[in-house]
C-alpha cells in the first residue's frame, strides 16, 4: 500500500534508512522469536503494541523494552475505530497509553490505529495525549497463511522502502495462525537487500523528523 500523498502520515524519513515496525503484540511465541533475530542482526525496531496484549503478557513487553526497542501504541483492542463514538475511541486509546506508560515509565509518542483506519474522535484523543498518528509506506502482507519469508520481502519492496516505514507483525491475533513465522523468516532476507543498498534500520524515533 502506497501513501505517497501523505509523507508525514506514512512515516517518511531521510533516505538511507528505514523504520522497522511490528504490530499486534506482544505475543508469547512470536515476539521473543522476532527479538532473537533482531538481536542477531543488531537492529532496533518499534513495536506498536496493543494495551490488552501488554496486560496479558507484561513480561514479554518488558523484554522488548529491555532489548532496547521502542514501544508505541496500536490501541487497546484491535477493533475498527470507525463507528465508535468519541468516548469509546478515547477510552481505548487512553487505556493503551496508560498501560504502555506504566510499563516503561515514559509516555509513548507514536500511535498506529488498527487496520490503519483513522477516525475524528480517535484523532482528537491522540492530540490530547500528545501522540502522533503514523501509518506505513510498505507492508509485508505477513498475516496471510500463504506468506513466506520471500513473499514478505517481495511485498515490502512493492511499497516505498528506502526512507520509508515498514510494517510487519509479531503476533497472529488478527492473522492466520502462525503467520508471524513468515515475518521472522523475512528478516534475514530483508537484511541482505537493505545491506546491499546501504540502507540502515532505525526505530521510528530515530527515523521520523519534525
As a whole number, mean pLDDT of residues 132-141 equals 96
Closest CA to 47 of 28, 67, 27, 73: 73
pLDDT-derived band of residue 1, with 50, 70 and 90 as boundaries? very low
What are 197's three cell numbers?
Answer: 543498498
Let me know if 169 is a catalytic residue.
Answer: yes
pLDDT tens digits for range 159-186: 999 999 999 999 999 999 999 999 999 9
Q: Determine what percent of the chain is predicted with pLDDT higher than 70.
A: 94
pLDDT-derived band of residue 6, with 50, 70 and 90 as boundaries? low
Closest CA to 161 of 37, 10, 35: 10
**CA distances for 70 relative to 17, 104, 148, 194, angstroms:** 17, 10, 26, 21
Closest CA to 109 of 127, 134, 131: 131
For residue 209, is pLDDT > 80? no
pLDDT for 89: 80
Termini Cα distance of the chain:
23
Domains in the chain, CATH or no CATH each: 17-207 (3.20.20.370)
Give CA–CA dist 16/40, Å, rounded.
21
pLDDT for 128: 93
pLDDT-derived band of residue 90, with 50, 70 and 90 as boundaries? confident
Across the chain, mean pLDDT equals 92
pLDDT-derived band of residue 120, with 50, 70 and 90 as boundaries? confident
Would the pTM count as exceeding 0.85? yes
As a whole number, mean pLDDT of residues 185-209 equals 96
Catalytic-role residue among 57, 69, 169, 207: 169
As a whole number, mean pLDDT of residues 181-195 equals 98
pLDDT tens digits for range 20-49: 999 999 999 999 999 999 999 999 999 999
Long-range contacts of 191-198 (CB under 8 A, 24+ apart): 191/41, 191/43, 193/153, 193/157, 194/18, 194/161, 197/162, 198/16
Residues near 140 by beta carbon (within 8 Å), at least 6 away in sequence: 147, 152, 153, 155, 156, 166, 167, 168, 182, 183, 186
Catalytic-role residue among 23, 24, 155, 172: 23
Let me know if 23 is a catalytic residue.
Answer: yes
Half-sphere exposure of 146 (CA within 13 A, CB side): 2
pLDDT for 112: 96
Cα-Cα-Cα-Cα torsion 122, 126, 131, 137, nearest 10 degrees, comes to 30
Amino acid at each position: 500500500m502506497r501513501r505517497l500523498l501523505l509523507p508525514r502520515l506514512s512515516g517518511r524519513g531521510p533516505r538511507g534508512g528505514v523504520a522497522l515496525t511490528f504490530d499486534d503484540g506482544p505475543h508469547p511465541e512470536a515476539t521473543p522469536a522476532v527479538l532473537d533475530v533482531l538481536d542477531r542482526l543488531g537492529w532496533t525496531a518499534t513495536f506498536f503494541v496493543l494495551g490488552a496484549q501488554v496486560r496479558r503478557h507484561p513480561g514479554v513487553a518488558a523484554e522488548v523494552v529491555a532489548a532496547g526497542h521502542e514501544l508505541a501504541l496500536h490501541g487497546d483492542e484491535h477493533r475498527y475505530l470507525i463507528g465508535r463514538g468519541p468516548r469509546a475511541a478515547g477510552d481505548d486509546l487512553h487505556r493503551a497509553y496508560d498501560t504502555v506508560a506504566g510499563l516503561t515509565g515514559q509516555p509513548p509518542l507514536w500511535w498506529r490505529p488498527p487496520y490503519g483506519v483513522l477516525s475524528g474522535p480517535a484523532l482528537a484523543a491522540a492530540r490530547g495525549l500528545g501522540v502522533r498518528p503514523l501509518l506505513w509506506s510498505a507492508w509485508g502482507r505477513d498475516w496471510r497463511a500463504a506468506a513466506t519469508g520471500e513473499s514478505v520481502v517481495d511485498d515490502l519492496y512493492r511499497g516505498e522502502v528506502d526512507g520509508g516505514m515498514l510494517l510487519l507483525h509479531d503476533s497472529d491475533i488478527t492473522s492466520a495462525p502462525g503467520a508471524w513465522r513468515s515475518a521472522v523468516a523475512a528478516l534475514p532476507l530483508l537484511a541482505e537487500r537493505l545491506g546491499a543498498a546501504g540502507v540502515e534500520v532505525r526505530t521510528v524515533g530515530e527515523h521520523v523528523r519534525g
